[in-house]
């Protein structure tokens, strides 16, 4: 199914529709931070390997305000900038074994093992849509990839290269890999300005990170093991060491299980997985417990000391997958967690879920984390081309005074699709 909004969080694939052509319309009614809204979505997808194109047109109307007063109005914020019109192209992609290209929504940007960039999405803000570009090329013993989250107003951009210098030797040593990456944010959080009446504004300045490492992968008795080590640096503000093991297993019955424990040692402002799912929401938040901003302001030993991360993924290909991660390191507000679920429940129902908790005081206090994001959707096919869709999203954002407030969005409605 073509699913523009959930693709922003990497919950559903935008690589191609189920058939060569697919047209879909959705009509939903729900609440948007207390206001009653009606949303109409029109989608058109085309796939002819190795090409795929997905178009998306959102039409949103506010029917009543937060106090329940009737106030019909077309939502102008969806069409008040050039990015809104450019974003009608949700994604165009080209994919082969050696080359991958994507233009538009980039739902899951992860560079290599993810020390710097993991699950970064470029379209979490519906009022500021971005059209990004990603490319990857690979040979027998090398690979290179690069991305930019926005072509109109570059925010985050990066590149990574990897080489296997012993590829021609053969045996296990041929899998030894050296890699390096560079990522930058042209407007990363740098300082807080205080305005009148206690209002705050986070001011951005260019900031860049670099990483270099090595990994080795081998397969003893059907198990895949990949120890790795890398060093990351954040400008002159600090750095971190990553030591980990990527392990893959096949328990049977079509199951695949991956487990990645990692030890970390960081100093000063460096934060592992700096560019992550929550980063677009954190980026300009003027909240005191924002780990990266607090460390950059040198407000205590935030981001310094020993730490760990554990990431695991269990899946049955084509049916369901569950990915979970927890991480913690010394210093205040340095506990994170993430959960991603995608499942097909029988022949008619599908479920997707993403939940992210960031910057909690410790692992036990993750539910009360200062930066949080949760999105879930259920789809149920009623009959042939007709279906039901339910959707809910939650996140924290800043109000007019720079204070955190919850943002809720829930919609339910019908979808109709035609494939040929």
* Of 121, 49, 55, 57, nearest in space to 91 by CA: 55
pLDDT in tens, the chain (420 residues): 223 334 443 333 333 455 689 899 999 999 887 889 999 999 999 999 899 999 999 898 989 887 778 878 888 878 888 888 888 999 999 999 999 999 999 988 999 999 999 999 888 777 778 899 999 999 999 999 999 999 988 789 999 999 999 988 877 789 999 999 999 998 887 666 666 555 666 677 788 999 999 999 988 887 999 999 999 998 877 899 999 999 999 988 889 999 999 999 998 778 899 898 878 877 755 444 444 555 555 444 455 689 999 999 999 988 999 999 999 988 777 888 999 999 998 888 999 999 988 777 788 777 766 667 888 999 999 988 899 999 898 886 655 555 556 778 899 999 998 888
Tokens 């300045």 locate to 205
3-state secondary structure of 122: coil
Helix, strand, coil percentages for the chain (3-state, nearest 5) = 10, 60, 30
Nearest to 370 by CA among 254, 292, 267: 292
CA 22 to chain CA centroid, nearest Å: 26
**Cα–Cα distance for residue pair 218/199, rounded to 1 Å:** 55
Q: How many residues does the chain have?
A: 420
Using CA atoms, how far residue 294 sits from 195, 203, 301, in Å, is 19, 13, 9
| Contact indicator for 308, 263 with CB cutoff of 8 Å | yes
Domain count, the chain: 1
Cα–Cα distance between 313 and 17 in angstroms, integer?
25
The domain in which residue 396 lies consists of: 4-419
Q: Which value, to the nearest 10 degrees, does the dihedral of the CA atoms of residues 274, 124, 102, 135 take?
A: -10
Q: Check if the beta carbon of residue 264 is closer than 8 Å to that of residue 145.
A: no
CA-wise closest residue to 407 among 418, 416, 415, 398: 398
CATH, residue 340:
2.40.160
CA–CA distances in Å: residue 115 to residues 215, 237, 258, 290, 366: 13, 17, 17, 19, 22
Please answer whether residues 29 and 38 qualify as being in contact, where contact means their C-beta atoms are separated by less than 8 angstroms: yes
């Amino acid at each position: 199914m073509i699913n523009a909004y959930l693709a922003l969080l990497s919950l559903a694939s935008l690589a191609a529709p189920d058939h060569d052509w697919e047209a879909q319309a959705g009509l939903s009614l729900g609440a948007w931070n207390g206001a009653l809204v009606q949303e109409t979505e029109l989608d058109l997808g085309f796939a002819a390997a190795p090409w795929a194109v997905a178009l998306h047109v959102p039409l949103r109307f506010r029917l009543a305000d937060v106090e329940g007063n009737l106030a019909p109005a077309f939502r102008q914020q969806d069409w008040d900038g050039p990015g809104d019109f450019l974003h009608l192209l949700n994604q165009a992609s080209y994919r082969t074994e050696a080359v991958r290209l994507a233009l538009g929504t980039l739902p899951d940007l992860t560079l290599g093992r993810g020390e710097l960039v993991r699950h970064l999405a470029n379209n979490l803000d519906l009022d500021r849509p971005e059209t990004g570009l990603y490319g990857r090329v690979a040979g027998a013993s090398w690979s290179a990839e690069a991305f930019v989250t926005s072509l109109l107003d570059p925010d985050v951009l990066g590149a990574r290269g990897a080489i296997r210098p012993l590829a021609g030797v053969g045996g296990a040593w041929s899998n030894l890999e050296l890699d390096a990456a560079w990522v930058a944010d042209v407007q990363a959080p740098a300082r807080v300005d205080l305005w009148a009446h206690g209002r705050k504004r986070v001011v951005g300045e260019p900031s860049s990170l670099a990483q270099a490492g090595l990994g080795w992968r081998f397969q003893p008795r059907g198990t895949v093991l990949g120890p790795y080590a890398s060093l990351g640096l954040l400008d002159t503000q600090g750095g971190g060491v990553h030591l980990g093991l990527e392990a893959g297993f096949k328990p049977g019955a079509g199951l695949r299980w991956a487990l990645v424990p990692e030890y970390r040692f960081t100093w000063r402002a460096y934060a592992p997985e700096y560019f992550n799912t929550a980063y677009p929401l954190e980026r300009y938040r003027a909240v005191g417990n924002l780990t990266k901003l607090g460390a950059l302001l040198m407000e205590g030993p935030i981001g310094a000391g020993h730490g760990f991360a554990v990431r695991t993924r269990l899946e049955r290909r084509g049916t369901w997958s569950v990915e979970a991660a927890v991480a913690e390191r010394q210093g205040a507000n340095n506990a994170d967690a993430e959960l991603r679920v995608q499942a097909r429940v029988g022949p008619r129902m599908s479920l997707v879920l993403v939940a992210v908790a960031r910057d909690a005081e410790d692992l036990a206090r993750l539910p009360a984390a200062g930066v949080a994001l949760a999105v879930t959707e259920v789809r149920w096919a009623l009959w042939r081309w007709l279906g039901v869709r339910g959707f809910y999203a939650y996140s924290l954002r800043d109000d007019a005074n720079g204070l955190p407030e919850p943002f809720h969005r829930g919609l339910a409605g019908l979808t109709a699709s035609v494939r040929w």
